[in-house]
Structure 1
Amino acid sequence: MRSPCIVIFGLILSPCGWVLDLTSMMVPHWRTVHNITGEDPGMVLYQGIWHTCSYYGTLSSISCDSDDEDYFDHRIIETAKRMMVASLIMTAIGLAVATFGVRCWSPRPRWTGVCLGGFVIVCSGLLAIMPVAWYAHVLNDISSPSTEMHLGVCIFLGYLGGIMEVLGGFVLFVAIWLYGHKGLEPDPSTLEETQWRPWRISA
């Protein structure tokens, strides 16, 4: 029996959100700082939760480090690290559980596994949204060498990735109410094809 389209949709949407959250976590583009006093006018400071990078437009060069103690000592940075890592791990676990529940090797889905995996993925999506939302809220409170600051691309990637995970996990979670009670008996014509028979030797 083929898996319902809504389940396939959830299994596609969730990994896409995971990739966006991973990119958001690793790339130093949560905040951009311009017009830094005493620096080249073309310099732009890109700040993330793991390291910061200074881009010199006039020289077309970039250097990265994690030595800005005033920036990294803010509580949102350490909290964001932990929550983003936890979100990625939870999404991976949820996808593993949901994939096992959907099955490609048995005639009937294990809806409890699909539902549980979807619930875990929803929680991981919310866990990814919270730190980026908090960072955006306290953007101007975090130590900065300039007053001209803007949200970075990674904030929007984090939002988008978290939303995709929430949607993907939600459709997996509700699939048990849409299809689980129906039983979804397999098509007799395909049942034989889904059963593994080690003693059966084809010519």
Structure 2
Amino acid sequence: MMHTPASMVMGIVFAPLGLVLVFTAAITPQWREGKARLNIGGSGFLLRTGLKGQGMGARSGSAEALLLLRSDGLWESCLQVEQSELKQCWPVSGLYQRDSRVRLVQGLVLSSLFLCGIGILLACIGVRCWTDLPLRRVAASGGLLVVVAGLLSLAGLGVYTHNLRRLGMDPSRGVSNRFPQLNLNAAGSLYFGWLGSCLQVLGGSALLFSFKRPRCPACPSRQEQTVCPACRSCPEVTSKTDVDVYEVSC
């Protein structure tokens, strides 16, 4: 009767879940977020015009403070007025886009997604739930790729988290060139990425146990075997005529 090892089941569950979480983190623009208070004066005419439909326009010649919510991802940034449905998103640009650390994180995350996808494909082929004997080396090779993918995404997340408040900043001014009073903090997508990366490492590590074959309980003196023997070379079995031999998967 077919029996899939628990380590393979754990790996084939955790690895795809980690991939989904890392992919979700990669495409969402909430790696960091912050709030900035904007005083609307004469220069805020365009913003006031856009907010009139929301009932938040400022009177001519008066000053009104608006709380802006800014969020950045790897490929998209967004700006929203608090307590309003007015929100605008755009592809990353400017100093943030050209920052070498952002480009490094983008490359690491894309490499992680690619390797994890290939690793999961190999693991699915190796587990082979429709046959009695899994392809252990294939499954373990897939697990190795998943572990590497998890480590790559962890490295990218670490770089981004360490430099979170400095990404896209003007070195000569030490503050953001567009939002000088913006206080940036880690956001939800970053946590999704950390969780997904850890699940990738756990799932890949579980699949790596596939390299080791279980010992045959009927033949304790023999090395690891693929099946518990219908093997006639097992001395403990062949020397005993009253022992029933069953072919089962290990």
1:117 maps to a residue whose letter is: G
Contact (CA 8 Å) 1:108, 1:185: kept in 2 or not? no
Q: CA deviation at 1:51?
A: 0.9
Contact (CA 8 Å) 2:165, 2:185: kept in 1 or not? no
- Report the secondary structure of 2:138's partner residue: helix
Please name the residue that 1:168 is paired with.
203
Do residues 18 (structure 1) and 53 (structure 2) align? no
Q: Which has the higher contact order (CA 8 A, sep 6+)?
A: 1
Whole-angstrom distance in 2 between the partners of 1:92 and 1:23: 14
Whole-angstrom distance in 2 between the partners of 1:158 and 1:183: 38
- Report the secondary structure of 2:87's partner residue: strand
Q: CA deviation at 1:42?
A: 2.1
Whole-angstrom distance in 1 between the partners of 2:69 and 2:182: 13
Whole-angstrom distance in 2 between the partners of 1:12 and 1:130: 23
Counterparts in 2 of 1:79 and 1:38: CA distance versus 1, 3 Å: farther
Out of 135-144 and 31-40, give the one that drifted further.
31-40
Gaps of 5+ in 2: 41-64, 170-175, 216-223, 230-245
Contact (CA 8 Å) 2:228, 2:248: kept in 1 or not? no
Counterparts in 2 of 1:15 and 1:74: CA distance versus 1, 3 Å: same
Please name the residue that 2:150 is paired with.
125
Whole-angstrom distance in 1 between the partners of 2:88 and 2:203: 37
- Report the secondary structure of 2:130's partner residue: coil
Please name the residue that 2:112 is paired with.
87
Out of 58-67 and 158-167, give the one that drifted further.
58-67
Do residues 155 (structure 1) and 190 (structure 2) align? yes
Out of 168-177 and 58-67, give the one that drifted further.
58-67
Please name the residue that 2:226 is paired with.
183
Q: CA deviation at 1:37?
A: 4.8
- Report the secondary structure of 1:129's partner residue: helix
Do residues 134 (structure 1) and 169 (structure 2) align? no
Q: Which has the higher helix share?
A: 1
Q: CA deviation at 1:179?
A: 3.1
After superposition, the CA RMSD in angstroms is: 2.2
Percent identity, aligned pairs only, is 24
1:105 maps to which of 116, 127, 130? 130
Q: CA deviation at 1:35?
A: 1.4
TM-score (norm 2): 0.70
Counterparts in 2 of 1:134 and 1:184: CA distance versus 1, 3 Å: farther
Contact (CA 8 Å) 2:126, 2:138: kept in 1 or not? yes
Please name the residue that 2:34 is paired with.
33
Counterparts in 2 of 1:182 and 1:189: CA distance versus 1, 3 Å: closer
Do residues 75 (structure 1) and 110 (structure 2) align? no
Contact (CA 8 Å) 1:25, 1:84: kept in 2 or not? yes
Counterparts in 2 of 1:82 and 1:160: CA distance versus 1, 3 Å: same
Q: CA deviation at 1:183?
A: 1.7
**Greater Rg over alpha carbons, structure:** 2
TM-score (norm 1): 0.85
Contact (CA 8 Å) 1:35, 1:44: kept in 2 or not? yes
Q: CA deviation at 1:184?
A: 4.0
- Report the secondary structure of 1:35's partner residue: strand
